[in-house]
Amino acid sequence: MTAQVPDVLMLDGQLHKLFTNPLDRMPDDRRRGFRSRNTANWRGYVALWEIDGGWLRLKDIDGEICELRPDPGAPRAKCGAMHHGPCRFRAARMEDFSDEDGAPLLADWFSGELMSPQGKMLSYRHMGYASSFERYLLIEVERGQVLGQRMVKGDGRPPPVPESELNWRRRLLEALKRRLR
């Protein structure tokens, strides 16, 4: 897998890389199908997130979405997006995710740890978010609300995968296995 372009987090007026993809956990009935434009961005988008007033919000998004809603009863889409039914792509807009005319969207579906690399890159790995950094800012979130944050020191190895992320990956894998049966 190629190293991936990260989402961006605005925190205290500063922009940070985000090695967590909160949008991936959005429920299927709210999520849209994105088209991957290159191997450095398999998810097909780059999202701008903000923490404002103790809440995680989706502020902006750059990517192409299928403008047709997924049809769970249809065959899998042939466009490469992770949904079922026909595809017709256009640029994503915040209105696609929010009822409030493009206002930042509260990430009330997300619970887990956000990970933001800090400082100098210690080693580059050509895979996902596996490059290592001096430090990592870890931000604990529950249903969109920020509960706390801490800084951990990097040690030259790939960044730690938070337990909440491992649990989510296990649940996703089990759900995919059940679907394939």
54 within some domain: yes
57 within some domain: yes
- pLDDT at residue number 28: 74
70 within some domain: yes
- pLDDT at residue number 87: 73
- pLDDT at residue number 66: 78
CA distance 150 to 114: 11
- pLDDT at residue number 162: 61
In this structure, are residues 94 and 106 in contact, taking their beta carbons and an 8 Å threshold?
no
- pLDDT at residue number 54: 97
List the beta bridge partners of residue 115.
Answer: 138
163 within some domain: yes
150 within some domain: yes
In this structure, are residues 143 and 151 in contact, taking their beta carbons and an 8 Å threshold?
no
Fill in the DSSP letter of residue 111. -
Residue position matching structure tokens 């997300």: 110
1 within some domain: no
CA distance 92 to 103: 14
In this structure, are residues 34 and 45 in contact, taking their beta carbons and an 8 Å threshold?
yes
30 within some domain: yes
- pLDDT at residue number 14: 95
- pLDDT at residue number 37: 78
- pLDDT at residue number 111: 95
pTM for the full predicted model: 0.79
In angstroms, what is the C-alpha Rg of the chain? 17
Q: Supply the range of the domain harboring residue 133.
A: 7-180
Domain count, the chain: 1
In this structure, are residues 77 and 69 in contact, taking their beta carbons and an 8 Å threshold?
no
112 within some domain: yes
In this structure, are residues 101 and 80 in contact, taking their beta carbons and an 8 Å threshold?
no
Both structure tokens of 143: 């249903």
In this structure, are residues 8 and 23 in contact, taking their beta carbons and an 8 Å threshold?
no
How would you write the pLDDT of the chain (181 residues) with one tens digit per residue? 678 889 999 999 999 999 999 998 888 777 777 878 788 888 889 999 999 999 999 999 999 887 776 666 777 665 555 566 667 788 988 888 876 777 899 999 999 999 999 999 888 888 778 888 999 999 999 999 999 999 998 877 666 666 666 666 676 677 667 767 7
* Burial annotation 139-150 (CB, 10 A radius, 16+ → b, else e): bbbeebbbeeee
